[in-house]
Amino acid sequence: MKRRKFIKKSVLGIAGIGLSTAIYSWQIEPFWLEFVHKKMPIKNLPNNLIGKTLMQISDTHVGNRFDYQFIIDSFKKAKQLKPDFVVYTGDYVSYENEKQFAQLKEVMQSAVLGNLGTFGILGNHDYGINWYQQKVANQITSILENSKIKILNNQKEEVNGLHIIGLDDYWGLNFNPKKVLSEINHNHANLVLCHNPDVCDLDVWSNYKGWVLSGHTHGGQVKPPFLNPPLLPVENKKYTAGKFNLSDGKTLYINRALGNSRQVRFNVRPEITVFKLEKV
């Protein structure tokens, strides 16, 4: 009987742990925002930008897959940090139909804007179903620009001596990075926005050595302790989340995403990144 009671208690204990983990992964961690603070040393950074902050927000995935009031609440918290620059690195919606346009407009009424400048790029989900609907991308771009977010489609913008280069999405319809990357002046302070980190492995960079800010992976959203995330939407499986010093001189940072592709996270909290600009 003692053995039977032990087995019964063990089974019930394991079941309880499993249920608690499931509830945590479904109802708690997907809405447990973390502000990650990092230093960003940039070559040729003007003295007037030393100490300024640049905030990265990525993969909001506004839609029907989770309660996007979380995104609005997170934006309100982010505004309290009063960032100098804000960059959005794609996947603003999880597109199913035109309802996402109204949902995105609602969320972007609370958009976080930088005191000096606000820029964004598109992700694959911003091209609609199967990443092949230009009309969807056009509508999302219009909503974002009406919200004072300048969308860069293989373009470069300069603000107070910081040159921000925005690449269109690798899986989208307009990926064409070679021209804008070949025009980078390496004597300037440069920063590249690129939704999908797999682009870092392509022969398109024209000897660019600097920071690349990406998203796309969500860090896998589920990461067992001491193991790699089992699901990553990239070819290079080392591109999970966080900072990577690449062998060619680029520094890649992959944001874990603010939103969720599905409402489940474990050991991969949603993230907004705040960089403090420094001179190399």
Model pLDDT for residues 87-106, shown as the tens digit of each residue: 999 999 999 999 999 999 99
pLDDT per residue as tens digits for the range 72-85: 999 999 999 999 99
Domains of the chain in start order, with CATH, are 32-279 (3.60.21.10)
The answer to whether the CB of 130 falls within 8 A of the CB of 100 is no
Task: Please give the model's pTM, rounded to 2 decimal places.
Answer: 0.93
Judged against a pLDDT cut of 80, whether residue 4 lies above it is answered with no
pLDDT given at position 138: 98
DSSP the chain: -HHHHHHHHHHHHHHHHHHHHHHIIIIIGGG--EEEEEEEEETT--GGGTT-EEEEE----BSSSS-THHHHHHHHHHHTT--SEEEEES--B--SSTHHHHHHHHHHTT----SSEEEEE--GGGG-GGG--HHHHHHHHHHHHHTT-EE-SSEEEEETTEEEEEPPPTTSS----HHHHHT--TTSEEEEE-S-GGGGGSS--TT--SEEEE-SSGGGSB--TTS--S--SSSSTT--SEEEE-TTS-EEEE---SS-SSS--BS---EEEEEEEEE-
pLDDT given at position 25: 95
**Mean pLDDT, to the nearest integer, of 183-193?**
97
pLDDT given at position 12: 37
pLDDT given at position 117: 98
